[in-house]
Amino acid sequence: MMVQSPYIQIGIQFEKAIEFSLNEEYTLPSGSILNGRCIVQMKGNGLLLKNGSGEHSINSGTELKPLNKAEGTFTLHGVTIGINFHWERKEDQTFKGSLKLLIEDKKISAINILPLEDYLLSVISSEMSATSSLELLKAHAVISRSWLLAQIQKNKEIEEKSESYVSMQQDEHEHIKWYDREDHANFDVCADDHCQRYQGITRSSTKHVEQAIGATRGEVLVYDGDICDARFSKCCGGKVEVFEKVWEPVNHPYLQSFLDSDTELSDYSLDLVKEDAAQFWITGQPDAFCNTSDKSVLSQVLNDYDQETNDFYRWKQTYSQDELSQLVRERSGIDFGLISDLVPVERGDSGRLIKLKVIGDKRAMVIGKELEIRKTLSTSHLYSSAFVIEKEEKDGQLYFNLLGAGWGHGVGLCQIGAAVMGAKGYDYKAILNHYFRGATLNKRY
């Protein structure tokens, strides 16, 4: 059993040059003490750091450590958040702990290193709203902690096997890709939605969040002795997806598919891998925890910029044939010509498309998995890949209506569903039992 909180490394910024401010005194391995505004650029195989104190040549991988561990914070200037999302913007962000600078893919990566429990306080504060119920926050603290420790473990295993992580299968007929550990060789997690949204300590934490983290300190979900890779997304769409349909083909018994509800549904066939059932489900309004428009509940899990979105349970996106053809060409880099059809090939248990055939007058190809489909069919990301395609002819033009369900990959905990459960009085153990079946709680430190 670990006694102390482990440390975590988070990749925050990736630029040719990085500007930052050290808000207290920080030390370099050389013993130099730095404070205030800095800029770091690449110089040969190393880095050149300029500061009021002068210029310092440092190695790639150098860690700037706060002189007074408990107090040190630094600010990264112009961090891009929500990369490729409709709300992408730049802001200054302040972090607690150390700053590691290293060269990766001809850019400088700024990596924050701090105790995992401190990191959790930040992510839960920025992921969730201050109005969230304590039980929802506790459930989130446990899954975030479990997921992080599982990623650290997974990266270690990939490193030990010294094989690169495979996340693609491709030939001339199929392009199947998933997005998971593929580009995180030098840190544990990134700061974007890809891993877990992390914006430093700029968003102040509340007593509520501190209480939830403290009450569950060191607590993780465990299955068969291993820490669970506890996933979560915004809204499952009524039925939860299984892990291997979205990521690598590995079965996790605690990440199964089930109705996001405590009651049975008699009006629907739940075998959503079947096209008919998926059509009926996605174009319907089945009862589920996450089928809610209760603003007080939604504001618990959605930040201000996420509340710009309120049609997440069932949504619609329309493209003309020309728009769709151009979009897919730009997003995939594949020229299909004029696209005449989108044909579902394979669906996951939540109705999410795992494989989709794109048919154009120049070529046809099957694309997948769910995130690749979402990226290909949108200038940012479609809400989800659980959609059906309706073709419509208007004024001599062909239109594609994508009618969809849910927001995100839909695996594991459904954040909106969990918020509703919390509001209905379920405690965090019941929420975790609902979403991670067969997993148990275990205190690791």
Site residues, Zn ion (CB under 5 A): 190, 194-195, 236, 260, 290, 414, 417
The CB-of-195 to Zn ion minimum distance in angstroms stands at 3
Please state the closest distance from residue 11 (CB atom) to Zn ion, in A. 7
Is 236 or 373 the residue whose CB approaches Zn ion more closely? 236
Shortest distance, CB of residue 216 to Zn ion, whole angstroms? 22
Comparison of 143 and 195: residue with beta carbon closer to Zn ion? 195
- Nearest approach, Cβ of 142 to Zn ion (angstroms)? 18
Which residues on neighbouring strands pair with residue 347, listed in sequence order?
353
Residue 158 or residue 364: which is nearer to Zn ion going by CB? 158
Q: Which is nearer to Zn ion, 222 or 411 (CB)?
A: 411
Between 64 and 411, name the residue whose CB sits nearer to Zn ion. Answer: 411
Q: Which is nearer to Zn ion, 221 or 290 (CB)?
A: 290
Smallest gap, in angstroms, from Cβ of residue 144 to Zn ion? 14
Shortest distance (Å) from residue 28 CB to Zn ion: 28
| Pick 184 or 208: Cβ nearer Zn ion | 184
Beta-strand relationship, 226-227 and 174-177: unpaired
Write down the least CB distance from residue 214 to Zn ion, Å: 27
Cβ proximity to Zn ion: between 223 and 435 the closer is 435
81, 202, 285, 330, 380 from 84: Cα distances, Å: 9, 22, 29, 14, 5
What is the CA angle 428-112-177, rounded to 5?
70
Nearer to Zn ion, 121 or 371 (CB): 371
CB of 236 to Zn ion, least distance (A): 3
Minimum gap (Å) between residue 417 Cβ and Zn ion: 3
State which residue, 77 or 194, has the beta carbon closest to Zn ion: 194
Q: Which is it for strands 397-405 and 314-320: parallel, antiparallel or unpaired?
A: antiparallel
**Measured between alpha carbons, how far is 124 from 253 in angstroms, rounded to an integer?**
26
Burial 288-320 (b: 16+ CB within 10 A, else e): bbbbbeeeebbbbbbbeebeebeebbbbeeebe
CB 234, min distance to Zn ion, A = 9
